[in-house]
Amino acid sequence: MAAGVGTLNVSSNQLKMAVLKACRGIGVPVAQAQEVAAAIAASPLALNKLLAHLAKPISSASFDFSFGVDVQNAHLLRDFSVCADAVSQGAVLVILRGVAKCDVTQALAQYHGVSAEMDNGDLHVAPHQYPAQKSGRCKVDPDDWRRLGVYAALTYVPETDASRLAGAGAGLTDND
Amino acid sequence: MKDAVIAEAGLRHSEEVMRLSRMGAMFPSRLSFLRSLTRRLIADKSNVSRHHWDMDVEGFGTAVYSVDLGGHTYSLFAITQPLDPDMRTDRVIAEAWDSAFVLYDGLPNALEIARLSKNAPLQELGQFTQKDLCLSRANKSVRLFDQIVTSLRNGADLPMGMIQDIGYLMRTTAVYGNGKFGIADRSEIDARPGLQGPFMAEMLTVWLIRTFTHDLVEHVGGGKLPDHVKRQLGIGNSTGLGMAPFLVSHPLLLHSWMICRETALARVRVTEFGLDTAVQLIDLSRRAAQHLLEWNIADPLHHARIVKLRREWAGLTCGLTAELLMAEGALDRLLLQSVAGSEDLQELTVSWMIEPFGDLVDGLTECMANPHEPTLDAAMDCAELGSALAVHCGYATAVDFTAPHATEQFWYVSESKLEPRIGKRHTEAGADRESPLDITRQIHSLAQDLPGHTGPIWQFLAYFPQHRLAVQRVQALADNPYSEIRDNLVDADMAPVDMLRCKLSFFGASKFDPKSQLWTRITLAQGAPLASDLAAGKVWDDWWLPVSAP
């Protein structure tokens, strides 16, 4: 199903929270996950492409600061933030090696106020200005939503008898 | 903070204020959100109308109430249905309730009432639209509801003792807003007059539910309750761990709430006032004493605190005269005297002192909304961050996280019920999926990794991406000193109920009734004006700490 022609109507906050959990589920640090979530909430058409990034395993990236920032083995959802930071601090050449431009790179670029364009097979991040974004209610593909939920579920802890009885909040009976 | 007109030196220090034990001793005040809402309803001369009432003799059916606020019409849709007692639970995991509610944007037509009738009882599993602003559910206080119905049917005396002890006909087990389960995002309404403040839509929902419960018991009982009895009947709430993460996840909002309250206190401490205000303070001190006497709960530890507080309150306020209170610096001296007592005494004193000074403090409520979240100051260098850690984060860096008790607990979301829970890290599985509420530990970890690094912080974060959140939070502390709870939220001794009480006191809750360290029952809107009071112009903003009717 093409992105944006979905049938599930979700609130912006619902989408944001689901993306946040999904990113955390695959190991994206929480601050970066929050930034991805805000970016996707503002650009919900990027949800479908986000799933591909969520499927990629996270491993250590390597950074070379000799001529700006040159990132090898980047995971877009974790490492775009620091590239945007670098651009904001005047780094001229900021490159994510082997990362392709997609809806998610553009959503993140808009969120951070930078551009993200391909050059010689790598993603180059540079200063850019966008009009203010506003998140709102959106339609999503139900299958995308389900798949997002699978990643979000990676943050959930299976229940035990002990956790159900001792670890939860309010009481089991309300008949008083 | 837009209105910090008092120099920070006049505010209580964040190291003192933001401790869990003190947050767990807070009382409602005139800055609480329900108070702000009722002041707004009074100012708007809001009128509540019951547009729809389709109830059978047992009180099962649907109802719609509408109210105009700030130039908009909002409606409470209510549905009640029979509930097997086995299904009646306070837990957020419940699947059926005595009643379900939706705060609706506008006035629902028949088609919308049909939609809400189908979906509201399903709660989390229902399908909602941007017309649905809040979603809630409640169970009856069966003992009190049935007793009042019996009294009304028989023309017998009302059970005033039970009314005083319980204080509500129904208690909500959740009031959802801001886009949860597909309802409207807060951003859709947060610029509307009357709803700009924190949780205003939720408070409006709660206040209207209270109105509905009064009508429902009169309908089933076939008689009228006197207005003074209705005012005694607020709306209960049962709150568990689900509410706690909010304070950690919204640090700048927490700061705004806290600094408004501290600024109010700072203003009051140095203000001069006349005889009327002094007399009002004495009257309020007596009301507080009565409230404490009428606040009786089953939990022995928490009840012991109330008993001690009764003694302390008497010690602090007995013998007060208007002349003594009007002496220069009297309130400041009283506050300093309270420091010799418990944190319960100190925080009750704070709420009491603020109460008569609406002209001085009510404007602060306009500063309590804060949509912002911490962002990274990428220009900061590692040395600056190290200094910030040293200046602002001693509470975190001093913790010995190698000690097992310092990491004994962990927060998580359960897979089967999607509800927040707390586990024991060293004996239970699941810590690898921990919810990131361990901010103190994260700041501690940042402080461990930072030494030896130089240059801009964004380069440090390239190598240590896991510290980005901690860096943001430390940076935020410099300008927002009340943004962090200055305790270890995974320590063995951490009591979540302290976080719940802090947040609920800002809502305006009273009669805290903790059932364990994990959850509490409370009463909201007890003593608040009725919808009929608004209509009759019999309105007042004087219901701090509810007491039984004379």
Report which residue type is found at A74: A
Amino acid, res. A24: R
Q: Token digits for A89?
A: 């601090």
| Burial (CB count within 10 angstroms: exposed 0-12, middle 13-18, buried 19+), residue B326 | middle
A14: nearest CB among B129, B179, B188: B179
Our CA-based measurement puts residue B195 at a distance from the nearest CA of chain A, in whole angstroms, of 18
Confidence of residue B550 (pLDDT cuts 50, 70, 90): low
Chain A CB contacts of B137 under 8 Å are none
What is residue B88's predicted lDDT score, i.e. its pLDDT?
75
Average pLDDT, whole number, for chain A?
A: 91
CB contact under 8 A, B85 and A82: no
Interstrand relation of A122-127 and A114-119 (parallel, antiparallel or unpaired): antiparallel
- The residue count of chain B comes to 550
Q: Show residues of chain A in contact with B129, CB under 8 Å.
A: 9
CB B285 within 8 A of CB B320: yes
CA distance B225 to B360: 37
Cα–Cα distance between B500 and B24 in angstroms, integer? 7
B260-305 confidence digits (pLDDT tens): 999 999 999 999 999 999 999 999 999 999 999 999 999 999 999 9
**B104 φ, ψ (degrees, to nearest 5):** -110, 140
Contact A72, B465 (CB under 8 A): no
Compare CB distances from A12 to B179, B241, B472 and report the shortest one's residue: B179
The predicted pLDDT at position A3 comes to 43
Asked if the ipTM is above 0.90, the reply is yes
User: A63 and B422: CB-CB below 8 Å?
Assistant: no
Measure A165 CA to nearest chain B CA, in Å.
10
Among B residues 33-92, those touching chain A with beta carbons less than 8 Å apart: 85, 88-92
Token pair in block for residue B499? 């976080």
Q: Which residues of B156-193 are buried (b: 16+ CB within 10 A; e: fewer)?
A: eebbeeebbbbbbbbbbbbbbbbbbbbbbbbbbbbebe
Chain A residues lying within 8 Å of B89, measured CB to CB: 170-174
Q: Within an 8 Å CB–CB cutoff, is residue A121 touching chain B?
A: no
Strand-pairing partners, residue B105, are B74
Residues B335-387 pLDDT 10s:
999 999 999 999 999 999 999 999 999 999 999 999 999 999 999 999 999 99
Nearest to A86 among B94, B458, B465 (CB): B458
> Which tops the pLDDT comparison, B211 or A165?
B211
Query: Nearest CA of chain A to the CA of B279: how many Å?
Result: 40
Per the CB < 8 A criterion, the answer to whether B486 and B57 are in contact is no
**Chain B 318-377, residues with CB within 8 Å of chain A CB atoms:** 373, 376
Q: Are B421 and A32 inside 8 Å of each other by CB?
A: no
pLDDT for the residue A173: 53
Residue of B nearest to A79 (CA): B462
Closest residue in B to A158 (Cα) is: B415
**Residue of chain A whose Cα is closest to the Cα of B437:** A30
Q: How far apart are CA B152 and CA B59, in angstroms?
A: 14
Shortest Cα–Cα distance, A51 to chain B (Å):
20
Q: What is the pTM of this model?
A: 0.95
Residue A9 at interface with chain B, using a CB cutoff of 8 Å:
yes
Asked whether the beta carbons of residue B181 and residue A169 sit closer than 8 angstroms, the reply is no
**Which of B238, B413, B429 faces A170 most closely, judged by CB atoms?**
B238
Name residue B414's amino acid: S
CA distance A19 to chain B (A): 14
Distance from the Cα of residue B332 to its chain's centroid: 27
- Which of A63, A155, A168 has its CB closest to that of B240? A168
Q: Which residues of A touch B88 (CB under 8 A)?
A: 173-175
Q: Look over chain B and give the mean of its residue pLDDT values, rounded to a whole number.
A: 95
pLDDT for position B6: 45
Answer whether A116's CB lies under 8 Å from A124's CB.
Answer: yes
Predicted pLDDT at A7: 84
Higher pLDDT, residue B243 or B454:
B454
The distance of B391 to chain A (nearest Cα, Å) reads: 23
CA distance linking residue B88 with residue B96, whole number of Å: 7
pLDDT at res. A176: 57
The count of other CB atoms within 10 Å of the CB of residue B312 is: 20
pLDDT digits (tens, 9 = 90+) for A48-68: 999 999 999 999 999 999 999
| Residue B161 structure tokens | 């003792």
B311: tokens are: 């003694």
Q: Do A30 and B436 touch (CB under 8 A)?
A: yes
- The whole-angstrom distance between A33's CA and the closest CA on chain B is 10
Q: Is B126 on the interface with A (CB under 8 A)?
A: no
Token digits for A24? 């955390």
User: Taking the domains of chain A in order of start, what are their residue ranges?
Assistant: 8-156
Q: Which of A163, A165, A172 best tests the B interface by mutation, with the highest count of B CBs <10 A?
A: A163
Query: What are B368's two structure tokens?
Result: 């309590």
Q: What are phi and psi of B292, to 5 degrees?
A: -65, -35
Q: Which of residues 73-102 of A touch B (CB under 8 A)?
A: 78-79, 81-82, 85-86, 88-89
Q: What is the C-alpha to C-alpha distance for residues A46 and B442, in angstroms, rounded to an integer?
A: 31
Amino acid identity at B335? L
> Which neighbouring-strand residues pair with B520?
B239, B514
Contacts of B465 in chain A (CB under 8 A): 29, 32, 78-79, 81-82
Q: How far is A166 from chain B (nearest CA, A)?
A: 8
Q: Are B128 and B181 in contact (CB under 8 A)?
A: yes
The model's pLDDT over B221-239, given as tens digits with 9 standing for 90+, comes to: 999 999 999 999 999 999 8
Query: Is the minimum CB–CB distance between B497 and chain A shorter than 8 Å?
Result: no
Handedness of CA A127, A129, A132, A138 (dihedral sign): negative
The three-class DSSP label of residue B69 is strand
pLDDT score at B2: 41
First to last CA, chain B: 41
pLDDT category of residue B41 using cuts at 50, 70 and 90: very high
Determine the pLDDT at residue B114.
98
Q: Which of B241, B421, B469 sits opposite A31 (nearest CB)?
A: B469
> Given a cut of 80, is residue A115 above it in pLDDT?
yes
Helix (H) or strand (E) holding B323, with range, is helix B322-326
| Angstrom distance (rounded) from CA A104 to CA A112 | 12
B163-198 tens-digit pLDDT: 999 999 999 999 999 999 999 999 999 999 999 999
CB < 8 Å from B in window 139-158 of A:
153-158
Using an 8 Å CB-CB cutoff, list chain B residues near A172: 89, 91
Q: Using CA atoms in the order B222, B227, B232, B236, what is the torsion angle rounded to 10 degrees? A: 50
CA atoms of B67 and B103, how far apart (whole Å) = 11
The Cα–Cα gap between A125 and A74 comes to 13
User: B77 falls in which pLDDT band (50, 70, 90)?
Assistant: very high
